[in-house]
Structure 1
């Protein structure tokens, strides 16, 4: 926060998206001011186009310009897909994915005019690798990762950059995950490297890399996705081809039954194998 001029947007909703409170934004504003920065709270709903435009305009009205956008707004409504309601799906997509778009779209208009700017979005490992009971959240975060790559291509020619961070940290949002859901995910390990869980990591560890990506020194970093937790920062690679089978013309089912197990799908393991019904 030292030397920074910040618009802190938070409507103060509960993690399920219900209610509002000025307290979270005001607390962050006070922290920034105590560190030597300037800050203004904003309580606009960024899941609407008007809200996204309003936040950007608030920055311009208070400080004359906008140089950096960091999109961290989010809610959780975890549910297995067979139990998830349309409302739970729509609400999470609206806040995470549309909320990222509304801010970035209106910031991009300014960035194009001033030919500079930084965007740092928050994606998630859940969106890249999947997490039990998070179909809505994973879809939104995967969408943010893809959107960020497009923003990088759209804005790079104007001197602006866009990069995504997948943070692993203990926050108000992660604290809301039920213990039963944590245990279920722990019982079904994925391909991620063994590492501390989000509950063991501090959110303050994420800030320095956000600041670095926002600096002039990071002008050549554009369209990338990073995993950040504790003292670990990892640049994640794009999806790439691992194995390919090829023939002239269309494959038949008989050919695939013979060739796929030998040359395409060998060694694959079901990450969520069938289990016996609970007694």
Structure 2
């Protein structure tokens, strides 16, 4: 198992690691010397069904390459499950050093058609799940005065997208959760950062491939594999990135972006204060040139990966 040992000896929990991005992060962590807890309930993309197989299969892959790993099939969507995931790390390897909050489901629907259950299920896994697992690790991190959180966010929340009010709200919530953790726990030498991953494997089947141009585009998009996300996660888990805290990165094929965070960009002042009419007559016209367009993620990231 050749590596540079960037995370040798660290115990890493990766949620939703039975496939996709989580699996590749778990494998990459193991290659770099980490002991990995592979968590996955084995559900479908929409969160339905349950199967212990995916988590154990990834554990077997890690063991086969000479690494150390343990499987966990608890759901992140309840506090007791989150606690058991962290406890698996303690029971198996005696400590916890890194939490990768990757578990997620999709229940896409236009906002005006979204059911309460569709809203609730996605928030529970993404936002509540990130909190539950992170919170369970916090006392260990505080006690040992070290620890590292890596959360998966999305440009659906950072920028916007159609039909994903639940997912977008959860993912933007995760970025705020990460910043709060970074602020609250920096005095204990604990870090928290986000990755917004582009990995289009689930979409490949729905993209048209009728013309040579379309076929070539799909081939380019296929390069955006989940494995492209793993190097950033391993780098953030390493002590060599001890200076990186409270940041949001995006990874898209061979590109890495530092994403902006909300800050004031323009202001107007009126010494006598504002009335509703003066807001309309003066403030809005003055600020209008700096308004943001109603863009989707695909409008901002409008070029194909190379």
* 1:36 is the counterpart of 2:36: no
Higher relative contact order (CA 8 A, sep 6+): 2
SS of the counterpart of 1:82?
A: helix
* 1:155 is the counterpart of 2:180: no
Task: Note if contact 1:260-1:266 (Cα within 8 Å) is conserved in structure 2.
Answer: no
- Residue 51 (structure 1) aligned to one of 60, 64, 81: 81
- Residue 89 (structure 1) aligned to one of 97, 115, 119: 119
- Residue 285 (structure 2) aligned to one of 262, 266, 272: 262
CA distance in 2, matches of 1:208, 1:200: 15
What is the match of residue 25 of structure 2? Answer: none
Select between 90-99 and 224-233 the one with higher mean Cα deviation. 224-233
What is the match of residue 202 of structure 1? Answer: 225
CA distance in 2, matches of 1:84, 1:179: 25
1:193-251 per-residue CA deviation (whole Å, 9 max, x = no partner) reads xxx99765110011111011011111111111101121111111221211111113442
What is the match of residue 14 of structure 2? Answer: none
Select between 242-251 and 7-16 the one with higher mean Cα deviation. 242-251
What is the match of residue 7 of structure 1? Answer: 37
- Residue 225 (structure 1) aligned to one of 218, 243, 248: 248
Task: Note if contact 2:98-2:237 (Cα within 8 Å) is conserved in structure 1.
Answer: yes
* 1:246 is the counterpart of 2:253: no
CA distance in 1, matches of 2:167, 2:44: 16
Task: Note if contact 2:266-2:290 (Cα within 8 Å) is conserved in structure 1.
Answer: no
CA distance in 1, matches of 2:91, 2:101: 20
How high is the TM-score relative to the length of structure 1?
A: 0.85
CA distance in 2, matches of 1:270, 1:238: 17
What is the match of residue 160 of structure 2? Answer: 130
Unmatched runs of 5 consecutive residues or more in structure 2? 1-29, 209-218, 296-306
What is the match of residue 188 of structure 1? Answer: none
What is the match of residue 214 of structure 1? Answer: 237
CA distance in 2, matches of 1:270, 1:79: 22
* CA positional deviation for 1:159: 1.2
* CA positional deviation for 1:39: 1.1
* 1:236 is the counterpart of 2:266: no
CA distance in 2, matches of 1:269, 1:111: 39
Q: Number of matched residues?
A: 255
What is the match of residue 140 of structure 1? Answer: 170
How high is the TM-score relative to the length of structure 2?
A: 0.78
* CA positional deviation for 1:177: 9.6
Task: Note if contact 2:151-2:195 (Cα within 8 Å) is conserved in structure 1.
Answer: yes
CA distance in 2, matches of 1:150, 1:19: 33
Task: Note if contact 1:56-1:66 (Cα within 8 Å) is conserved in structure 2.
Answer: yes
Select between 81-90 and 258-267 the one with higher mean Cα deviation. 258-267
* CA positional deviation for 1:40: 1.1
SS of the counterpart of 2:96?
A: coil
CA distance in 2, matches of 1:239, 1:177: 35
